[in-house]
Structure 1
Amino acid sequence: MSDPAGRLNIQLRRTPHGFACDIGSTRPVAASGLFCGRSPAETASLLPLLYSICAKAQASACVGALERACGMDSDPEARRLRQVQVAAETVREHLWRILLDWPVLSGEEPDRQAMIGAQSLVKRIFGAADPNGVLLSPGCEKPTSFRSVLEEAASTLADLMAERVLGLAPDAWMERVETIDAFDDWCRSVETPAARLLVGLRDSGDGRLGHTEASPLPDLDDGTLAAELRGTDAATFVARPCWGGAPRETTPLTRHADSALVSALVADQGRGILARLGAQILETVSLLRAIRTGELDGDSTAPSDAVLPAGVGLGRAEAARGLLVHLAEVDRGRVVEYRILAPTEWNFHPDGVLASALATLPDAEETILRRRVQLLVMAIDPCVAFDLVIP
């Protein structure tokens, strides 16, 4: 049976000049066409069922697009609480990698018990942010939330991360680990699978592998994005997006490129595996603190000042893998066009950041090479499973 979310097929080929990479995808990038002819309410209800991976980010971007297309005022508190849910979902997605996938690549057992606990706490955050189940419906007004329950669940999740990942409180980690020396000291002073993986990458030199020149996705205003997503080449754009004639990157590394820690890691290790994994930890810690302290205000998902055509709306969410964009066009109470531009299509473009990173790998015995490829794929992080072929 085929995977409804699709898969990536990654093939690495040896050439006289090094490796070449071919990336194929069966992701259903045109599935959003199923919303055409439906009402906005029906679309918002159906979307999380079709897009179960990062469902909160998908639903948040969807409802933002539909509200704007229908001329509904976007409630600031609703935007903030949606952002809380997306942040908690991102924490869960990163912890899935850190607790389950990272240990395996170091020859250790995945920490399933910790992940079960993390999933339960994230569900509590979801429920506390939206106890009435109306937050992700277009036009939600005066949403209710249980702030004390939300803060308690986020604090407990921070404690779990302190015990199973960081070896110290997340806030203390953020204050202490800002330089390459501090990062080294931290990795070598705590006994967690995550720290051991990072130490191993640093000591072996593999942390530098996959370095590519920066090509981050620039800030794009709503009007510019909407024009691309409604243009004659829109179907090609969402399947293999390029900007300025080139594929771009949208990942935790690009989101936190200006932070002290990521800047230090890139300066020392390049934009390779170690910097990318460090950015994932930093983002997880940062979002946990933002959820606990109420720093999320919904401003990043507020409609921009760009004037869009009547009936057209754009919604955004900073999902775990990068920027997620939805476009909805509504006419006479029915969706007539719907497009989704997902971060996986940017980052796993056939000529994108992963392909460029894999092409830089040195040749090696197959077991070593396969592990390095898996590390790089995990560090850039697709939202779907992948098959790896090395002839």
Structure 2
Amino acid sequence: MSDPAGRLNIQLRRVASGFACQIGSTRPVASSALFRGRGMTETASLLPLLFSICARSQALACAGALERAGGMKPDPGTAHLRRMVVAVETVREHLWRILLDWPAILGEEPDRQAMIRVQAIARDVFAAADPDGALFRPGSETPIPSPDVLAGTASSLANLMAERILGMSPDVWLERVENLAAFDDWCRSVSTPSARLLRGLLDSGEGRFGHAEICALSDPADSELASELRGPQAAEFVARPSWRGLPRETTPLTRYAESGLTAALVADQGRGILARLVAQVVETASLIQRVRGGGSGAQLAVVQDGALEAGVGIGRADAARGLLVHLAEVDGTRVLDYRILAPTEWNFHPKGVVAKALAALPDAEDSVLSRRAQLLVTAIDPCVAFDLVLP
């Protein structure tokens, strides 16, 4: 039976110049068409049910698109709470990789017990923040829970991250581990699987592997996004997006490229495996810090200014894997058209960052090459299963 979420097929083969990479996808990128003709409220309720991963990021982008198209201004408290819920979801997604996938790369048992705790914490905050399922309903004015709910959630996640990953609180780690020397000291003084994996990449030089020069997807104006998503090549743009004629990258690394530690690693190691994995840790710690502080200074995507036609809306969310964009066209309360542009299509574009990064790997025996390729794909993190076929 085929996977309803689709799969990625990644093939790496040896050529005279090194490697060539081909990426195919069965992701149902046109599935959002099923919302045509539905009501706005029905669309907002049904859409997150299609996504088992990052459902609340999808709901945030959906609410933003429908509210903008319908001429609604979200209640400020509701908008803020939505962003905090998405921050917790993003933390959960990153911790899934860090606690389950990273130990497996070392040949160790995944930390399932810690991940069960993370899941329980996230469920509790989602239930407290959205008890009646109305938080992401267009135009909703949801009662805001006590600040203690978010603060308690952040404290629980911070304690778990300190215990299982960092060896210290996220706040302290962000303050202390901000340059290469401090990172090296931390890697050697903490014995968690995460620290040992990163230390191994640093010592072996493998952290540099997979460097690829791909421009980041900056902050395109809503009007430009709407033009692409409504134009004659919209289906191609959703499936294989490019910007100004070039593939782009949208990942935690592009979001935190200017962060002290991430910037230092990129300068020293390039945009390879190590910098990408560390960017996930930096983002996880930073989001926990923001939720604990009530979200002040949060850098989560919001609706951008820019002229749009009446009845057209763009919604955005900084999902765990990159920028997520929704477009809605409405007539009254009925959806005329709907499109979703997901980060996986940017990053796993046939000529995008994953293809170039894999092609840049040094040749090695098949078992070593396979491990490095798997690690690189994990570092860039698709939102669906993938098959990796090597020479």
Does the C-alpha gap of structure 1 residues 343 and 143 become closer, same or farther in structure 2, counting only changes over 3 Å?
same
Does the C-alpha gap of structure 1 residues 302 and 250 become closer, same or farther in structure 2, counting only changes over 3 Å?
closer
Alignment match, 1:120: 120
The whole-number CA distance in structure 1 between the counterparts of 2:44 and 2:228 is 23
Comparing 69-78 with 323-332, greater Cα deviation is found at 69-78
> What SS does the aligned partner of 2:49 have?
helix
The whole-number CA distance in structure 2 between the counterparts of 1:204 and 1:297 is 37
User: 1:245-286, CA deviations, whole angstroms, 9 ceiling, x for partnerless residues?
Assistant: 110000000000011111110111111000000100000000
Displacement after TM superposition at 1:74 (Å): 1.5
The whole-number CA distance in structure 2 between the counterparts of 1:284 and 1:304 is 24
Alignment match, 2:157: 157
Please tell me whether residue 84 in structure 1 is matched to residue 84 in structure 2.
yes
Does the C-alpha gap of structure 1 residues 267 and 304 become closer, same or farther in structure 2, counting only changes over 3 Å?
closer
The whole-number CA distance in structure 2 between the counterparts of 1:306 and 1:182 is 42
The whole-number CA distance in structure 2 between the counterparts of 1:303 and 1:97 is 29
Letter in 2 for 1:281: V
Alignment match, 1:75: 75
1:77–1:298 CA contact under 8 A, matched in 2: no
1:80–1:296 CA contact under 8 A, matched in 2: no
Alignment match, 1:389: 389
Alignment match, 2:137: 137
User: 1:307-337, CA deviations, whole angstroms, 9 ceiling, x for partnerless residues?
Assistant: 2111101100000000000000001321111
Please tell me whether residue 375 in structure 1 is matched to residue 375 in structure 2.
yes
Map 1:1-391 onto structure 2 (within 5 A): 1-296=1-296, 301-391=301-391
Letter in 2 for 1:261: L
User: 1:226-262, CA deviations, whole angstroms, 9 ceiling, x for partnerless residues?
Assistant: 1111111111001000001110000000000011111
Q: TM-score, normalised by structure 2?
A: 0.98
The whole-number CA distance in structure 1 between the counterparts of 2:292 and 2:298 is 15
2:321–2:382 CA contact under 8 A, matched in 1: yes
The whole-number CA distance in structure 2 between the counterparts of 1:200 and 1:298 is 32
Does the C-alpha gap of structure 1 residues 210 and 249 become closer, same or farther in structure 2, counting only changes over 3 Å?
same
Letter in 2 for 1:354: V
2:121–2:156 CA contact under 8 A, matched in 1: yes
The whole-number CA distance in structure 1 between the counterparts of 2:297 and 2:74 is 13
> What is the root-mean-square deviation of aligned Cα atoms in Å?
1.2
> What SS does the aligned partner of 2:307 have?
coil
Does the C-alpha gap of structure 1 residues 116 and 229 become closer, same or farther in structure 2, counting only changes over 3 Å?
same
2:77–2:144 CA contact under 8 A, matched in 1: no
Letter in 2 for 1:309: E
Instruction: Give the aligned length.
Output: 391
The whole-number CA distance in structure 2 between the counterparts of 1:222 and 1:259 is 26
Letter in 2 for 1:102: W
Does the C-alpha gap of structure 1 residues 53 and 243 become closer, same or farther in structure 2, counting only changes over 3 Å?
same
5+ residue gaps, structure 1: none
The whole-number CA distance in structure 2 between the counterparts of 1:316 and 1:260 is 26
Letter in 2 for 1:224: E
User: 1:210-239, CA deviations, whole angstroms, 9 ceiling, x for partnerless residues?
Assistant: 011241002111111111111111110010
Q: TM-score, normalised by structure 1?
A: 0.98
Comparing 62-71 with 142-151, greater Cα deviation is found at 142-151
Displacement after TM superposition at 1:296 (Å): 4.6
Displacement after TM superposition at 1:299 (Å): 8.1
